[in-house]
């Protein structure tokens, strides 16, 4: 996937992976919504018409800055915009991910929401508390994050199987 000729595609995929934004939110991110100083992106009118900020990792800042500069050079308004000066469509993003999944030899499609689930499950399995994930996820409450705990239990089974034979019973 990282051999893509379109660096904008790589930036888009990494933005999905690092922030966990919904695809409908991703396509509405304006250039002015990205704060490179604080490493946060403002999501306006997200699900439930809620606004929030999502973080991105500091090492991604330079890549994102280069992308923003390139988009400003094209007089773009949105972070991800077509050659026709329109924001990408959610359908277009899904099709892009499907193309890369096929190129990578995956035998299943890669919907954008799976990347969101991957991030939040990964954060949970690495000990990040729901109280820290909830504001970034856009979920109305922490109880909504239980799905990521349930998914993480599948990973826990492998760990459990590896140590249960040492249990002193």
- 22, 28, 67, 124: the catalytic one is 22
Q: How far apart, in whole angstroms, are the C-alpha atoms of residue 13 and residue 9?
A: 6
Catalytic residue among 28, 67, 124, 139: 139
Catalytic residue among 28, 67, 116, 124: 116
Is 52 one of the annotated active-site residues of the chain?
A: no
Q: Of 40, 47, 94, 99, which one is the catalytic site residue?
A: 47
Please say if 116 is a catalytic residue: yes
Burial of 151 (C-beta count, 10 Å sphere; 0-12/13-18/19+):
middle
- Active-site pick, 72, 113, 132, 150: 113
Is 114 a known active-site residue? no
Partnered with residue 34 across adjacent β-strands are 41
Annotation marks residue 139 as catalytic: yes
Active site residue 50: no
Q: What are phi and psi of 152, to 5 degrees?
A: -65, -25
Residues near 160 by beta carbon (within 8 Å), at least 6 away in sequence: none
Distance, CA of 72 to CA of 64 (rounded, Å): 12
Q: Is 126 a catalytic residue?
A: no
The residues assigned a catalytic role are 22, 47, 113, 116, 139, 148
């Amino acid at each position: 996937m990282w051999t893509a000729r379109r660096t904008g595609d790589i930036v888009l995929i990494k933005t999905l992976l690092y922030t966990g934004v919904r695809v409908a939110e991703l396509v509405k991110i304006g250039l002015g919504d990205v704060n490179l100083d604080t490493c946060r992106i403002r999501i306006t009118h997200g699900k439930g018409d809620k606004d929030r900020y999502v973080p991105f990792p500091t090492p991604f800042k330079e890549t994102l800055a280069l992308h923003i500069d390139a988009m400003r050079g094209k007089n773009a308004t949105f972070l991800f915009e077509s050659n026709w000066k329109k924001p990408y469509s959610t359908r277009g993003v899904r099709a892009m991910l499907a193309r890369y999944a096929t190129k990578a030899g995956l035998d299943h499609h890669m919907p954008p929401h799976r990347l969101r689930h991957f991030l939040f499950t990964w954060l949970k399995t690495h000990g990040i508390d729901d109280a820290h994930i909830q504001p970034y996820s856009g979920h109305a409450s922490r109880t909504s994050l239980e799905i990521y705990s349930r998914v993480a239990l599948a990973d826990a089974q492998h760990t459990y199987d590896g140590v249960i034979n040492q249990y002193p019973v």
